[in-house]
Amino acid sequence: MSKALGLLSGGLDSSLAALTLKRQGVDVTCISFVTPFFGSKKAEKAAAQMDIPLIVSDIGDIHLEMVKNPRYGYGKNMNPCIDCHAMMFRLAGEIMASEGFDFLFSGEVLGQRPMSQNLTALKTVAKYSGHPERILRPLSARLLPITPMEEQGLVDREQLLDIQGRSRRRQEALAREWGLEEYPSSGGGCLLTEKSFSGRLRDLFEHQPEATVTDVQILKVGRQFRLSDHAKLALGRNQSDNEAIKNLARPGDTLLRAANFSGPAGLISGTPDAADLATAGAILASYGKGQNEPQVEILLQQGEREWTISVAPMDRDQVARLIVE
C-alpha cells in the first residue's frame, strides 16, 4: 500500500483530493499548516469527518518572512499564493522524507484560480517546492501530464479525476456521493486575500519591515491607527478585543485606557514618542464615555511603569484620517 501526505485546508477540494486517494486504497495522512493568516480548525474538522490522520504544524515565523518578500509576488491583495503553496509543499516534503511517505498531494484544481492554478503556476509551484516529481493533484490529474507515482503504480490514474474550472458542481456531486456531509463554502479562510486586512498589513510592512508574528496578530484586533512613521495604535471595539489587546502586549508595548471613564483599551506598538502617546490618548478618549469632556485622564502602562497624561478627545473627522484600512 502506498502512503501519501496531503495538504488539507478543510475546504471541499482538499477534502475530496484526500478521499479520491483513500477510496483507491492509498494510506492517506494530511497536514495543516498554521500561520497568523490562517489556522487549522477547518482541517481538523474535515480530517475527523473523513477519519484521516492529521498533522498540525505552526510555521508562523517562516511564513511571515516569505510574505514580506515573495519570489513570485502577490495576487489581487497581499496573497503570495504561488510562493505559499510551494513553501507548504517544501515543508511537507521534509516530513515525507523523514516519515516514509511516497508522495505529496493537494486539492488544487486546474483553472479554478486564473493566476495561481493555471498549468504554468502548478508547474512553478512543483519546481519551487523542491519535490517536482513527488506532487499529485488528484482532482485534475487526468488533465495533467502523467506523474512518476502513476507510472510506478502507486496510484491508479483511471481512478483519479479530470475536474477543471471555477464551477464546484462536480465537487458538490462527489461530496454527496461519497458521504462528505459538511464542508465550508468556497473562498475565505486566508486573511491575505482580504482587502481590508491587506491594507493593514501593507501599512505594517511599510513602516515596520522587521514586524513579527505578534505584530500581525495585533492587526487582527479592533481598529488600527497610524500615529506616525514609527508608531501605531490598536483600539478595542468590544470586551473581547480589549482582552486580546492586553494578552498581546509585549514588555516594550504601551497599554492605555481612560482613567475615569469606561471605554476601549488601546495598545501602542513601535517606538512612540511623547507626541504619539498624546495622539493615541486623544483617539482613545474620543471612543469612550468621556468623549464630550474637555479633558480626559489617560492611564498608560509599559511593563511595570504606569503614568497618566491629560488629553482632549480628538474630533472624529481627524480620527478618521488616521485609521488604517
Domain ranges in the chain are: 3-189, 194-322
Q: Enter the CATH code of domain 3-189.
A: 3.40.50.620
Q: How many CB atoms lie within 10 A of CB 289?
A: 13
Average pLDDT over all residues of the chain = 95
How large a percentage of the chain has pLDDT more than 90? Answer: 92
Return d(Cα 295, Cα 48) in angstroms, integer: 56
| 222-247 residue pLDDT tens | 999 999 999 999 999 999 999 999 99
Predicted local distance difference test score (pLDDT) of residue 240: 97
| 106-130 residue pLDDT tens | 999 998 876 667 888 899 999 999 9
Predicted local distance difference test score (pLDDT) of residue 33: 98
Predicted local distance difference test score (pLDDT) of residue 189: 81
Mean per-residue pLDDT for 174-186? 89
Predicted local distance difference test score (pLDDT) of residue 182: 86
Place of cell 474535515: 46
| 269-312 residue pLDDT tens | 999 999 999 999 999 999 999 999 999 999 999 999 999 999 99
- Looking at residue 25, its amino acid is G
Return d(Cα 36, Cα 219) in angstroms, integer: 10
Predicted local distance difference test score (pLDDT) of residue 115: 66
Predicted local distance difference test score (pLDDT) of residue 120: 87
CB contact at 8 A, 110 and 164: yes
All residues at 6 or more sequence positions from 97 whose CB lies less than 8 Å from its CB, including other chains: none
The DSSP result for 247-262, as a single string, is HH--TTSEEEEESSS-
| 80-111 residue pLDDT tens | 999 999 999 999 999 999 999 999 999 999 98
| 40-77 residue pLDDT tens | 999 999 999 999 999 999 999 999 999 999 999 999 99
Predicted local distance difference test score (pLDDT) of residue 116: 65
Mean per-residue pLDDT for 173-185? 91
Mean per-residue pLDDT for 203-211? 97
Predicted local distance difference test score (pLDDT) of residue 185: 78
Q: Which long-range contacts (CB under 8 A, 24 or more apart) does 151-155 make?
A: 154/2, 154/26, 154/102, 154/103, 155/2, 155/4, 155/21, 155/24, 155/26, 155/103
CB contact at 8 A, 54 and 42: no
Does the pLDDT at position 188 exceed 80? no
Alpha helix stretches (DSSP H) within 5-80 = 12-22, 41-50, 60-68
Phi and psi torsions of 320, nearest 5°: -60, -30
What DSSP designation does 233 have? Answer: E
